[in-house]
């Protein structure tokens, strides 16, 4: 293939006017080999054509194998995966794509164990792919919540070490924000693992997760007292003295927290360590916020799109925690 044919292939919309598969059958048709996957990533990464990161030349690159591109002006070698979450991977792109497809189309997602079994990779590779996709999922959740937003904390966990209760059982505190829709229903969510429920933890979370000017619904906890100083309107939902359970006053957070707990127990068999909880919260958030998406294929494309614009993740990031 010469360069211009190559560029034409890149721009071509592959299946029936859509550039994403709707079914597994279409997925298999669209991505039969490494070449097809690399081409797709290239289009997601440079939607208006290749631009050399070294000299800034916007011209069709010379093509080599496995997504390697050479700038016609300065001969700089680029690659569709370098500088993305797929950087330095030895796992075939077809395997990454297969994992991305299943992660985005399976109703409740997949555990690393399931990926290991169904894709025939090692557990380590399966786990690493899922962790990296979770990093890309964070990127997809940039837009802050707005309108009326419920905020409350809940405990998640914990993992029991050596089968004993109590010691070694780590419960993690998670603060959850949920858009409340009128007259009923919920919008998007955001959540964060926090070491304690002090204002120093709660207020920065709200500032990162919710646009200023929004109405924040909270209980009477003092940790939220400074919200008004940060431009939010705080509305305390006071419990009736008749002893209504807490969830009646915060139905969105209660509902999301119970879905989250069920997901961790069901899909991940509860095997989420506190050190990795935040990345699972990101996956849950990504899934929850797209629960009404009209096409899972679009969600698949969205994940890959984020995968190629998100910087590389090192082994240390994955093992010791990523700077969220």
Q: How big is the site for Zn ion, counted in residues (CB under 5 A)?
A: 8
Min dist. Cβ of residue 81 to Zn ion (A)? 18
Query: Would you say 71 or 299 has its CB closer to Zn ion?
Result: 71
Assess 30 for contact with Zn ion (CB under 5 A): no
Assess 73 for contact with Zn ion (CB under 5 A): yes
What is the distance between the alpha carbons of residues 71 and 69, in angstroms, rounded to a whole number? 7
Assess 51 for contact with Zn ion (CB under 5 A): no
Assess 55 for contact with Zn ion (CB under 5 A): yes
Min dist. Cβ of residue 59 to Zn ion (A)? 9
User: Within 10 A of 86 (CB to CB), how many other CB atoms are there?
Assistant: 25
Query: Would you say 69 or 110 has its CB closer to Zn ion?
Result: 69
Residues 68, 76, 255, 261: which binds Zn ion (CB under 5 A)? 76
Residues 28, 58, 74, 248: which binds Zn ion (CB under 5 A)? 74
Min dist. Cβ of residue 311 to Zn ion (A)? 21
- Tell me the C-alpha to C-alpha distance, in Å, between residue 213 and each of 16, 152, 176, 192, 290: 44, 18, 18, 21, 25
What DSSP assignment string belongs to 176-193? EEEEEPSSS-EEEEEEEE
List strand residue ranges (DSSP E) for 160-277, in order: 170-180, 186-194, 215-218, 233-236
Q: What does the per-residue mask of binding to Zn ion show for 239-268, with x meaning CB under 5 A?
A: ------------------------------
Assess 71 for contact with Zn ion (CB under 5 A): yes
Contact call for residues 126 and 115 (beta carbons, < 8 A): yes
What DSSP assignment string belongs to 41-92? HHHHHSTT--B-TTT--BSPPEE-STTEEE-TTT--EEESSTTSTTTT--S-
Would you give the distance in Å from CA 69 to the centre of its chain?
28
Assess 298 for contact with Zn ion (CB under 5 A): no
Query: Would you say 69 or 191 has its CB closer to Zn ion?
Result: 69
Query: Would you say 10 or 73 has its CB closer to Zn ion?
Result: 73
Contact segment (CB under 5 A) with Zn ion among 65-73, 87-95, 109-117, 219-227 equals: 65-73
Q: How many distinct helices (H) and strands (E) make up the chain? A: 12, 8
| Nearest CA-CA partner of 129 in 106, 105, 97, 107 | 97
What DSSP assignment string belongs to 4-55? HHHHHHHHS--BTTBSS-SSHHHHHHH-SSHHHHHHHHHHHHSTT--B-TTT
Min dist. Cβ of residue 4 to Zn ion (A)? 18
Residues 11, 13, 24, 54: which binds Zn ion (CB under 5 A)? 54
Min dist. Cβ of residue 82 to Zn ion (A)? 14
Residues 30, 37, 38, 52: which binds Zn ion (CB under 5 A)? 52
Query: Would you say 52 or 103 has its CB closer to Zn ion?
Result: 52
Query: Would you say 79 or 91 has its CB closer to Zn ion?
Result: 79
| Nearest CA-CA partner of 177 in 185, 189, 167 | 189
What DSSP assignment string belongs to 132-149? HHHHHHHHH--SPB-SEE
Contact segment (CB under 5 A) with Zn ion among 44-52, 112-120, 177-185, 244-252 equals: 44-52
Assess 5 for contact with Zn ion (CB under 5 A): no
Query: Would you say 63 or 268 has its CB closer to Zn ion?
Result: 63
Contact call for residues 233 and 214 (beta carbons, < 8 A): yes
Give the binding site for Zn ion (CB under 5 A). 52, 54-55, 57, 71, 73-74, 76
């Amino acid at each position: 293939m010469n360069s211009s044919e190559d560029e034409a292939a890149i721009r071509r919309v592959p299946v029936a006017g859509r550039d994403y598969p709707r079914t597994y059958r279409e997925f298999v048709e669209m991505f039969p080999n490494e070449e097809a996957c690399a081409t797709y990533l290239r289009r997601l990464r440079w939607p208006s054509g290749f631009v050399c990161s070294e000299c800034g030349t916007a011209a069709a690159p010379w093509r080599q194998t496995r997504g390697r591109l050479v700038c016609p002006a300065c001969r700089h070698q680029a690659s569709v995966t370098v500088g993305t979450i797929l950087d330095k991977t030895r796992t075939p792109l077809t395997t990454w794509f297969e994992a991305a497809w299943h992660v985005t189309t399976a109703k409740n997602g997949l555990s690393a164990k399931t990926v290991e079994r169904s894709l025939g990779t090692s557990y380590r590779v399966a786990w690493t792919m899922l962790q990296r996709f979770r990093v890309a999922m964070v990127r997809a959740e940039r837009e802050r919540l707005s309108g009326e937003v419920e905020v409350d904390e809940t405990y998640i966990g914990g993992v029991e070490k050596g089968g004993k209760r109590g010691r070694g059982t780590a419960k993690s505190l998670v603060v959850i924000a949920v858009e409340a829709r009128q007259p009923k229903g919920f919008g998007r969510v955001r959540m964060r693992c926090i070491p304690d429920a002090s204002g120093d933890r709660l207020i920065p979370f709200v500032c990162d997760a919710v646009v200023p000017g929004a109405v924040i619904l909270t209980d009477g906890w003092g940790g939220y007292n400074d919200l008004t100083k940060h431009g939010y309107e705080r509305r305390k939902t006071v419990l009736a003295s008749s002893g209504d359970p807490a969830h009646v006053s915060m139905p969105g957070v209660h509902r999301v927290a119970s879905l989250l707990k069920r997901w961790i127990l069901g899909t991940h068999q509860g095997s989420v360590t506190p050190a990795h909880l935040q990345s699972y919260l990101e996956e849950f958030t990504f899934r929850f916020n797209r629960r009404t998406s009209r096409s899972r294929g679009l969600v698949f494309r969205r994940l890959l799109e984020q995968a190629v614009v998100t910087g590389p993740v090192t082994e240390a990031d994955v093992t010791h925690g990523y700077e969220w």
